Structure 1
Amino acid sequence: MKKYSADEEIQRLTEFVREKGGDAMFISSDKVITGEWVRMKCLFGCNGFGRRFSCPPYTPTPSETRAVLDCYSHALLVRFEGDVGETTPERLVSREMTRYVQTIMYELENMAFHDGFYKAFGYTGHQCGWCGKCCAKEEDAVITDCKNRRKMRPSMEAAGIDVYATCKNAGWDLGVLECTQVEGGTVLNKPMTTVMLLLVE
């Protein structure tokens, strides 16, 4: 097995993301910003709270995530623009897009791990899409009930990461998502940007 330096690995992973239609950029892990307020947005602003094991309250707190980030020096920000499937007013991001980006992050983490970066860990985008129905919704559910724990990862925001501030630190301009209310739900005014993070050490 060829040994890659951290810089070589970041470049290798970046090329993989670009082949898949996205973009990626190196960011020092100390430039990844966490905040206690982020969890409040999940608790009071998202219908997914407690409905999937990749979401709070099952995910690490912002302070726990900060402690994890402090174990790394290298990270890769990953972004995808738009969608790969059809959306509806009830679903702003298609199931196909969710599965697509989560599969890519799973493959990225595995690639880094098998290249010798055994601490590699990914934060994905969207709510978990590995199962059609998450058993987190069942009474007395615990995270060990998850049927896809090998693949399932929290999103950045679910783990308390300030995605906007982190993107700004990387030189990426990430605007606030704008939507319009229509009959039956909401539609996006412009394509969604999906942002994810891979820690590499």
Structure 2
Amino acid sequence: MTKYSTDEEVQRLTEFVKKNGGDAVRIPAEKVITGEWVRMKCLFGCNGFGRRFSCPPYTPTPSETRAALDCYTDALLVRFEGDVGETTPERLVSREMTRYVQTLMHELEEMAFHDGFYKAFSYTGHQCGWCAKCCAKEENAVITDCKNRRKMRPSMEAAGIDVYATCKNAGWELEVLECTQVEGGTVLNKPMTTVMLLLVE
């Protein structure tokens, strides 16, 4: 039995996000968009592919994610602007920011679960930051080797979710992130927007 109605729970979770510096909006789970092309971007566009258990090929495929989304009615889209730590050309997003948003999404999922929404599941932001070194990089690694599976969750894009289209469905417009190449790496031309998702039911 839930402690709150879905409306009350979504409001409670939204207030928690805003209290911690973010923003959130309710979206029907059917409006969360998946696409096979998203996984292609991970395979051919991201140097994190296969280096974290929260990334492909360890994460659900877009079709598997769609099937999971179809088990839900409501979701909460969460966003944060900027960074809470210091970035460098070698690291576009600080370790502090990664840990901050991933901790918050874990807390959100736990809140919903303990309020009786036992199907609650989150999709976080960035590559997993729970361990300093992920054993996914080791030979013959399998996801059950992960030391933080209770907390570790895939990002939206790692699970095949079209973040841009999903945000548009929620009334949020995202701009393509632009970067400049500098000595030693890359710097952002404007603050990054981190977008995450909590399924609530």
Q: Deviations over 1:30-56 (max 9, x none)?
A: 000000000000000000000000000
Provide the residue aligned with 1:41 in structure 2: 41
1:41-60 counterparts in 2 under 5 A?
Answer: 41-60=41-60
- Cα RMSD of the aligned pairs, angstroms, is 0.8
Provide the residue aligned with 2:64 in structure 1: 64
Distance 1:21 1:187, change over 3 A: same
Aligned 8 A contact 2:2 2:117 in 1: no
Provide the residue aligned with 2:153 in structure 1: 153
SS at the partner of 2:50? coil
Counterpart Cα distance in 2 of 1:11 and 1:61: 31
Residue identity opposite 1:31 in structure 2: K
Provide the residue aligned with 2:15 in structure 1: 15
Counterpart Cα distance in 1 of 2:31 and 2:78: 15
Counterpart Cα distance in 1 of 2:73 and 2:8: 15
Shift of 1:2: 7.1
How many equivalent pairs are there? 201
Q: Deviations over 1:71-128 (max 9, x none)?
A: 0000000000000000000100000000000000000000000000000000000000
Distance 1:6 1:91, change over 3 A: same
Residue identity opposite 1:171 in structure 2: G
Counterpart Cα distance in 1 of 2:90 and 2:61: 29
Provide the residue aligned with 2:123 in structure 1: 123
TM-score by length of 1: 0.99
Provide the residue aligned with 2:30 in structure 1: 30
Provide the residue aligned with 1:87 in structure 2: 87
Aligned 8 A contact 2:61 2:159 in 1: yes
Structure 1 position 96 matched with structure 2 position 96: yes
SS at the partner of 1:64? helix
Provide the residue aligned with 1:164 in structure 2: 164
Quote the sequence identity (%). 89
Shift of 1:3: 1.7
Q: Deviations over 1:159-189 (max 9, x none)?
A: 0000000000000010000000001110000
SS at the partner of 1:100? helix
User: Following TM superposition, where does structure 1 have runs of at least 4 consecutive aligned residues deviating by more than 3 angstroms?
Assistant: none
Counterpart Cα distance in 1 of 2:75 and 2:5: 14
Counterpart Cα distance in 2 of 1:13 and 1:117: 12
